[in-house]
Structure 1
Amino acid sequence: MADASSSDITGEKQTFKIRKLEITDKRNGYMELLSQLTVTGSVTDDEFDQRFKEITSYGDDHLICVIEEESSGKIAATGSVMIEKKFLRNCGKVGHIEDVVVDREFRGKRLGKRVVEFLTDHCRGMGCYKVILDCGVEKKEFYEKCGLVNKGIQMSKYF
């Protein structure tokens, strides 16, 4: 299993720590960070706490990591991964990376790459035979730098 405990990343004049999402992270800018990626809506503290408890009840099959800027406690980056259990490949597992975003204030410090590496390492440790993610064309080059390759076309239907 990948070590999901805190580890340090040192940047220019700032120190960052990567770790699992904590229930108190809503007040450290977690939802505001997600809103830089897509629509989040108005999530109350109770709704956040309830969803957090639900997600953490899945154990290591659903992991959300954050990178915290240590001096301010602000959440600088995040990403999540869900482990899908399959019948294919001898009942193998696939990691699905989602919701990778770096706060505008902290971009250019390789934090997004660190999030993807952390989540990929978690999947490897969980015994996944592959990791996949969907992204827009404009993000293709970034994910290639993270070691992923384009293997197809994403299709979706929103409800």
Structure 2
Amino acid sequence: MENKKFNQVSFISVKNADIDSILKLYRDAGWWKEEYDPKEIPRLIESSFIFIIGLSKETQEIIAMGRVISDGFYGIIQDLCVLKKYRGKGIGKLLIDFMIDSAKNAGLFRIILVAEPGTEFLYQKSGFISDRNQIFLLHTYQE
């Protein structure tokens, strides 16, 4: 299921990927904390309902990723990122659209997206709406 609009990247669903490449994406997005253990990345990928990587056709480098967690009915898209040096080329939009298609093809009925505040406009192009009637809360453990 390769997207023809941008022929320099191909998207594939995986159950494993190069840990260093995934770690690079998380760090580049500013989401990786040093107390996290990179050895947990394979479990994160394997336990995702769908884990998508975007490969540069020229270098075979992993330049984008996203994942869906799900109960088989509802899906939550999260951890969408494109390496900074590849941003602004439409890769993120193609990644989101690929993920939506993958989720629909997997039989999911509703798709929710977790995003950084102020980035809603990026996802509205793919049909997501901000629902001001719902609030998602995050609980963090204190040790």
Shorter-chain TM range is 0.7 to 0.9
Segments of structure 1 that go 5 or more residues without pairing to the other structure are 1-5, 86-92
Identify the residue that residue 22 of structure 2 maps to in structure 1: 30
Larger Rg: 1
Query: Per the alignment, do residues 136 and 125 of structure 1 end up closer, same or farther by CA in structure 2, a change over 3 Å counting?
Result: same
Q: Is the 8 A contact 2:13 2:53 kept in 1?
A: yes
Normalised TM-score (structure 1): 0.73
Matched residue, 1:3: none
**Contact 1:134/1:154 (<8 A) preserved:** no
Task: Tell me the SS of whatever aligns to 1:23.
Answer: coil
Match of 1:102 among 61, 75, 82: 82
Correspondence list, 1:21-100, <5 A? 21=14, 23-27=16-20, 29-37=21-29, 38-41=31-34, 43=37, 47=39, 50-51=42-43, 55-56=45-46, 62-85=49-72, 93-100=73-80
Q: 1:87-134 CA distances to partner (integer Å, 9 max, x unpaired)?
A: xxxxxx101101000100100111111121111112211222210022
User: CA offsets, 1:36-93, max 9 Å, x none?
Assistant: 220154645xx257526xx43x5xx6111011112212111100002224xxxxxxx1
Q: Does 1:7 align with 2:31?
A: no
Task: Tell me which residue corresponds to 1:88.
Answer: none
SS of aligned partner of 1:120:
helix
Deviation at 1:15, TM superposition (A): 1.6
Q: Which has the higher helix share?
A: 1
Q: What 5-or-longer segments of structure 2 have no aligned partner?
A: none
Judge conservation of contact 1:84–1:96 (CA < 8 Å) in 2: no
- Structure 1 runs (4+) greater than 6 angstroms displaced: none
Identity within the alignment, %:
19
Q: CA RMSD in A?
A: 2.4
Counterpart-to-counterpart distance in 2, 1:19 and 1:126 = 14
**Structure 1 residues 156 and 10, CA, compared in 2 at 3 Å: closer, same or farther?**
same
* Contact 2:75–2:108 (CA under 8 A) maintained in structure 1: yes
Q: Does 1:118 align with 2:98?
A: yes
Pick aligned residue for 2:118 from 118, 138, 151: 138
Cα pair 1:26 1:48 within 8 Å, conserved:
no
TM-score when normalising by structure 2? 0.80
Corresponding residue of 1:156: 138
Once residues 114 and 130 of structure 2 are traced to their aligned partners in structure 1, the CA distance between those partners, rounded to angstroms, is 10
